[in-house]
A and B are shown apart, each in its own frame.
Chain A
Amino acid sequence: MQRFSCPFCGLRDETEFHFAAEAGKHRPEPAPEVSDADWADYLFGNDAPRGPAREVWVHLTCGEFFVMTRDTVTREVLGSAALPGRSQ
């Protein structure tokens, strides 16, 4: 069992967490001018990086979303931080 770090609760078992999305996506605006292709890329497109990755996860037990930096090959956790605007 691997342990991930929630910025609010500290180290917890990996089963308490759920992967939400790759970090760094920006919702294209304004909506009426966004092409179908750009919207599809925002909704569905991923980098699926090999190695270091920034991801948004949710800690299911406290309900907070946060950014976790991990290595997707070794599974080493490199850091976790609250989303911008959320105080720890």
Chain B
Amino acid sequence: MQRYSAFSLLRHGLTGHRGWRPAWAKARPRAAYDAVIVGGGGHGLATAYYLAKNHGISRVAVLEKGWIGGGNTGRNTTAVRSNYFYPESVALYDLSLRLYERLSRALNYNVMLSQRGMLIAAHTPAQMEICARIANAMQLNGVDGHLMGAEEAVRRIPLLNQTADARFRCLGGVWQGRAGVARHDAVAWGYARAASALGVDIIENCAVTGLDVQGGRICGVDTTLGRIRTERVGLAAAGATPGLAALTGVRLPIHTYALQAFVSEPVKPMLDTVLLYLGTGTYVSQSDKGELVIGGGLDRVPTHGQRGNLPAQETVISGLLEMFPAFAQLKLLRQWAGVVDVVPDSSPVIGPVGPGGLYVNCGWGTGGFKAIPAGGWLLAHLLATGAHHEISRPFDLDRFARGRLIDEAAGSGIAH
């Protein structure tokens, strides 16, 4: 692997940048692997990297039906944070945030993590009480977070609508200073490059058509590029995971919805935090290029089509304009959607399902990007050891039969 550094940039600059080699190797499937991961998004690529790095298992293939990072990894609004309510969730998402904090160095790839802070903003006294509850829970769970008053919120985000007739006049909210944004494509590419350097095969344009089960155990994967023998399979395919699990007769507690995002035309810096507004469900940050990156709640129609509908678009944009009337002058540059896997308690499903040797890392719903390092770390642990990491144990599929749901939809006010 070519190491990236300021020196290598200078050296290649002197030779006209003709010496750069591809960051990862394109691979064709071999006959057999120690583990196969289905889904070449951030979670799948991170799983492969940690299998090789943490567990010394590098005879690993990542199968991607399209191109790597082309699903939800390339379609999200890039926020990373750990401002959740339940101890299990904070342990999970803060593991992820801690891994993000050292990811650029670990991968020798700049994921452009910018910990610019995030405000979950409230506009009613009742919402402020919810925010206080979340802030208290975060502190009890040992992560940074505090209740912020209106004065400081408006000082940080001066464009917020503070006129006397503002429909959602900000009263403050929960602040997490370590939250921020990261470059989403770089996360996929960085993991792919580091995994490839450790011997992982990354195979694009390869769809899985069947999972072979004999004697109650996984023994292979059928793909559009032929059959691959393996005794361990990890599914990390977001909205496509239910269809893959169904190949072995497993039903998951997942509905698939489209989640839309938008960017505006680029403008000068005017918003240097991530903002989620409880009253409108809209969230927004400004990219390094100057575009506003905007998201909101789900489309309300279950779908597998990667495009959004107009009512959800109107809700998100009207919410944005209630918060920032000045943004009405901006033009939208792009709009798109990804298919997200939504679970009733808005927490992921991580663990074994169905036949022996089959594991899933899915159900992240609208919040998978922030969890990529942890999702990969924990699925790699499952694939390598066959047993749960203590952080993934509460997120096993068995929580639905045991009644031990981790209801973050209610706990931390997720907007769906």
Shortest distance between the CB of A5 and any CB in chain B (Å): 14
Chain A residue total in the interface (Cβ 8 A): 27
Number of cross-chain contacts by CB at 8 Å: 70
Q: Which residues of B contact A39 (CB under 8 A)?
A: 401
- Kindly state whether residue B56 has any CB partner on chain A within 8 Å: no
Whether A44 contacts B400 by the Cβ 8 Å rule is yes
B299-332 interface with A by 8 A CB criterion: 300-305, 309-311
Chain A residue numbers with a CB within 8 Å of B256 are: 48, 72
Min CB–CB distance B345 → chain A (angstroms)? 9
The majority secondary structure among interface residues of chain A is mixed
Taking a contact as CB atoms under 8 Å apart, the answer to whether A36 and B401 are in contact is: yes
Whether A75 contacts B242 in the complex (CB less than 8 A), given A37-B401, A46-B251, comes out as no
Q: How far is the CA of A2 from the CA of B322 in the complex (A)?
A: 25
Report A-chain residues with C-beta under 8 Å of the C-beta of B106.
Answer: none
Interface size on B, residues (CB 8 A): 24
Bound Cα distance A19, B299 (Å):
11
Q: Are B301 and A48 in contact (CB under 8 A)?
A: no
Decide if B401 touches A40 in the complex (CB within 8 Å). Answer: yes
Scan residues 12-28 of chain A and give those whose CB is less than 8 A from a CB of chain B.
13-15, 18-19
Asked if residues A47 and B246 are in contact (CB atoms below 8 Å), the reply is yes
Q: A46-B242, A46-B252, A50-B243 are in contact. Are A73 and B401 (CB under 8 A)?
A: no
Q: Using Cβ atoms and an 8 Å threshold, which residues of chain B touch A48? A: 239, 242-243, 252, 254-256, 302, 304, 341
Q: Please give, as numbers and ranges, the residues of chain B lying within 8 Å of A51 by CB-CB distance.
A: 304
- A14 x B400 contact (CB < 8 A): no
- A1 and B400 contacting across the interface, CB-CB below 8 Å: no
Docked CA distance A75–B258 (Å): 12
Chain B residues near A40 (CB-CB < 8 A):
253, 400-401
Contact status of A72 and B402, CB under 8 A, knowing A44-B253, A46-B251: no
Alpha-carbon distance between A18 and B299 when the two chains are bound, in angstroms: 11
In the complex, which of the residues B246, B255, B300, B311 contacts A1, with contact meaning CB atoms closer than 8 Å?
A: B311
Instruction: Confirm or deny: B344 has a beta carbon within 8 angstroms of a beta carbon on chain A.
Output: yes
Tell me whether A45 is interfacial, beta carbon within 8 Å: yes
Question: Is A43 located at the chain interface by the 8 A CB criterion?
Answer: yes
- Looking at the assembled complex, report how far the CB atom of A28 sits from the nearest CB atom of chain B, in whole angstroms: 13
Once the chains bind, are A72 and B311 in contact (CB under 8 Å)?
no
Q: Does A88 contact B (CB under 8 A)?
A: no
Q: Find out whether the CB atom of A47 lies under 8 angstroms from the CB atom of B251.
A: yes
Note all chain A residues with C-beta closer than 8 A to B243: 48-50
Complex-state Cα separation, A55 to B166, whole angstroms? 40
| Min distance, Cβ A27 to any Cβ of chain B, angstroms | 16
Q: Closest residue of chain B to A51, judged by CB?
A: B304
List residues of chain B with CB within 8 A of the CB of A49.
243
Q: Is the CB of B344 within 8 A of A44?
A: yes
User: Known interface pairs A37-B401, A44-B400, A48-B242. Does A53 touch B302 (Cβ–Cβ under 8 Å)?
Assistant: yes
CB contacts (< 8 Å) of B255 on chain A: these are: 19, 46, 48
24 interchain pairs (CB within 8 A)?
A1-B311, A2-B309, A13-B311, A14-B301, A18-B300, A19-B255, A19-B300, A39-B401, A40-B401, A41-B251, A44-B253, A44-B344, A45-B251, A45-B253, A46-B242, A46-B252, A47-B242, A48-B239, A50-B243, A53-B302, A72-B256, A72-B303, A73-B304, A75-B303
Q: Which residues of B contact A (CB under 8 A)?
A: 239, 242-243, 246, 251-256, 300-305, 309-311, 341, 344, 400-402
User: Which 4 pairs between the two chains have the least Cβ-Cβ distance?
Assistant: A44-B253, A45-B251, A48-B242, A40-B401
Beyond A14-B309, A55-B302, 14 additional contacts (C-beta under 8 Å) are: A2-B301, A2-B309, A14-B311, A18-B300, A46-B242, A46-B252, A48-B239, A48-B254, A48-B341, A50-B243, A50-B304, A73-B303, A73-B305, A75-B301
